[in-house]
Amino acid sequence: MSNPTGAFGLRPVRKIDGSPYNGAVQKCYVSASYATALFIGDGVIFDTTLTDKDPTARYPTVIAWTGAAAGLCRGVIVGIEPDPDDLSKIYIPALTGGYVYCCFDPQVVYQIRDDGAGTPSAVYPGQNATVTLAAGSTTTGLSGAVLDTSTPATDQTAPLHIIGKADVENNELDDYAVWEVLLNTPENATGRFLGVTAS
């Protein structure tokens, strides 16, 4: 049976020390001046544009992560604060602003689907990879980010460290497999894992 193809971005599932991820989040601000839509499962970084900061100074301001090699990532959006004027809103459209809830724990393991562009290999675990970003779904509110199957290697600058294929039902070692990963280039500690491969 072939794997499903739907992207969902990065989804926190557990912590690398074996303890469960308990859903802890940090509320973050998205400026109405920010021209990129944000979705659940998108990686984010702190916004350095002073004019876009949260006017109350209570919450960090976030923008989209690039997913590229050496691209730092602060964490991942796991929820969107409801808009009382529009309860159907399940993502942050461009130039609207709002609040998102993010996982910033660098020890959290995430699941992510691969892009289906190259048949995955059993040597992926221990290697590092980049992310291919695509527009999220305005229907589901989920990110379009996927693991780039052209990149798994020992490159320490790659932002994802592959733990292994996710142990979920009907997850075949084939195109569009779901992988468990750590953020390898968190914004607060660059280049944590060298990456290893079969010799």
129 CB-side CA count, 13 A: 30
CB atoms within 10 A of CB 51: 7
Low-confidence spans in the chain with pLDDT less than 50: 199
Task: For residues 73 and 44, give the distance between their C-alpha atoms in angstroms, rounded to a whole number.
Answer: 6
What integer pLDDT is reported at residue 154 of this predicted model?
Answer: 86
pLDDT, residue 199, reads 47
Confidence at residue 190, expressed as pLDDT on a 0 to 100 scale: 56
- Residue 127, CB-side half-sphere exposure with 13 Å CA sphere: 21
Is the pTM for the entire model greater than 0.85? yes
Strand partners of residue 102 = 26, 77
Backbone dihedral angles phi then psi of residue 131, each to the nearest 5 degrees = -120, 140
What does the pLDDT look like over 56-90, one tens digit per residue? 999 999 999 988 888 889 999 999 999 888 888 89
Q: How far apart are CA 23 and CA 42, in angstroms?
A: 16
**d(Cα 163, Cα 156) in Å, to the nearest integer?**
15
